[in-house]
Amino acid sequence: MIINGKQIAQNLKEQMREQVAALSAQYGRKPCLNVIIVGENPASLSYVKSKIKASEYCGFDGELIQLPETTTQDELLRIIRESNEKDNVDGILVQLPLPKHINEQYVINAIAPEKDVDGFHPTNVAKLWLNQQTIVPCTPLGIITLLEHSGTPLEGRHAVVVGRSNIVGKPMAKLLLDKNCSVTIAHSRTANLASICRDADILIVAVGRPQMITADMVKPGATVIDVGINRTSDGKLVGDVDFESVAPIAGAITPVPGGVGPMTITMLMQNTIEIFIQRNNK
Ligand code: NDP
C-alpha cells in the first residue's frame, strides 16, 4: 500500500477550512500566521510559498515577511519581537536554515513560546518530553497522523527512527514512545544499521541521503516512512528510501514527493488553529 500523504493532507485541509470559517465567525477574526524568510534559498522560497498557499486555502490571515540575505541578526530579532507583541498574530514561523551570520538558536529562542507554530522553542521541546500540553513539531506530528490514517497499529510494535535531529528524529521517537511503541533511534555512528532496520515493524528514515535504505534492510510487511528530501543531479526530488526495491516488500510506504511533505505543511495549519483557539480562550 502506498500511503497517499497528499490526499490525506488535502482532506484535512478541507476540514480545517470549514473549522476556520466557524472559528472566525465565533471570535470575530481569522487565525493569523506570519512567515519570515531571510534570503533567497530556492528550496526555502518554495517551502514558504507552499506554507502561504496552504494558509490562504485554510482561510487564515497572515503576512509573508521577506527579508534580504544581508539582514542582521538584531534586525531579525527585532521583527520577531514585533510579531510577538501583535495581539492579532497567532503563529510565527522563521524558515530555516538561516544565513550563516545569524544564530538559529537565538532566533528560535526569540519567538514567543505560545506563538511557536513549529514547536522548536526550548520551552515547547521541554514540555513535549515532560508530557505537558504543548505545540508538537509538524513533521513528526504529520507522520503520526499518517500512520493513524493508514491503520498502522503502533502499540507494542518496534519502531526504528533513523536520524536524531531536534526537528525530526528526536521528537519522532518521543511521539512513537507516547503511542506505546518500543523505539530504537539510529544515527551515523550506529553499528549494524541494516540489521536494526530489518527488525523494525515501523521504519522512519530522516537522514537526507538518497538510497540510504534498500530492500535488504526492510522487514517484509513493515511500514516505511520516508522523510528525506533530496535532489538528484538531474533535478528529480527523491527520498532516503530506494522506493522501487522497497515498495514491493513493504506493507505500506510513503512516496517522495507526496508523502510526509504535504503532511508537515498541514500540521503547521493545525498548530496555528490550536494556538488561535488557546489564545482566544485565555
Ligand atoms: P539532519 O541533517 O539534522 O539529521 C540527519 C540525521 O541523519 C542525523 O541524526 C545523522 O546522524 C543521521 N545520519 C547521517 N548519515 C547517516 C548514516 N549513514 N546512517 C545513519 N544515520 C545517518 O537532518 P534533518 O533531520 O533536519 O532532516 C533529515 C531529512 O529529512 C532531510 O532530507 C530533510 O530535507 C528532510 N526533511 C523533510 C521534511 C518533510 O517535511 N518532508 C521536514 C524536515 C526535514 P548524526 O546525528 O550521527 O550526525
Q: What tens digit of pLDDT does each residue of 246-282 get?
A: 999 999 999 999 999 999 999 999 999 999 999 999 8
Q: Is 238 a residue whose pLDDT tops 90?
A: yes
Q: Is 174 a residue whose pLDDT tops 90?
A: yes
Q: Using CA atoms, how far apart are residues 248 and 227, in angstroms rounded to an integer?
A: 19
Q: Do domains 28-113 and 138-260 have the same CATH topology?
A: yes
Q: Three cell numbers at 129? A: 518530553
- The CA distances from residue 88 to 153, 212, 280, in Å, are 40, 44, 10
Q: At what angle do helices 42-57 and 5-27 cross, to 10 degrees?
A: 50
Q: Which of 13, 30, 90, 118 is catalytic?
A: 118
Mean pLDDT of 45-70: 97
99 exposure class (CB count in 10 Å sphere: 0-12, 13-18, 19+): middle
| Residue at 169: amino acid letter | G
Domain boundaries, the chain: 28-113, 138-260
Prediction pTM value: 0.97
CA of 272 to the centre of ligand 1 (A): 25
Q: Three cell numbers at 219? A: 522487514
Residue 97 region, left (φ>0) first, then alpha (ψ -120 to 50), else beta? beta
The pLDDT score that the predictor gives to residue 282 is 85
CATH code of the domain occupying 28-113: 3.40.50.10860
- The CA distances from residue 251 to 128, 183, 223, 239, 260, in Å, are 30, 19, 5, 18, 17
193 in contact with ligand 1, CB cutoff 6 A: yes
Q: Which of 51, 115, 170, 174 is catalytic?
A: 51
- Rg over CA atoms, the chain: 19
Determine contact, residues 162/197, Cβ cutoff 8 Å: yes
What one-character DSSP code corresponds to residue 238? E
Determine contact, residues 250/224, Cβ cutoff 8 Å: yes
**Which element (helix H / strand E) includes 169?**
helix 169-178
Mean pLDDT of 143-165: 97
In this prediction, what percent of the chain has a pLDDT beyond 90?
99
CATH code of the domain occupying 138-260: 3.40.50.720
Mean pLDDT of the chain: 97
Q: Which of 30, 90, 95, 219 is catalytic?
A: 95
Query: Which of 160, 207, 254, 266 is the pocket-test mutation for ligand 1 (most atoms within 8 Å of CB)?
Result: 207
Q: Using CA atoms, how far apart are residues 115 and 80, in angstroms rounded to an integer?
A: 11
What one-character DSSP code corresponds to residue 95? P
Asked if 61 is an active-site residue, the reply is no
In 3D space, the residue among 281, 219, 273 whose CA is nearest the CA of residue 250 turns out to be 219
| Residue at 49: amino acid letter | K
Asked if 118 is an active-site residue, the reply is yes
Chain-centroid distance, C-alpha 35: 15
Asked if 240 is an active-site residue, the reply is no
The pLDDT score that the predictor gives to residue 178 is 98
What one-character DSSP code corresponds to residue 241? B
Looking at the CA of residue 263, tell me the nearest atom of ligand 1. Answer: 40
Q: Is 161 a residue whose pLDDT tops 90?
A: yes
Mean pLDDT of 208-227: 98
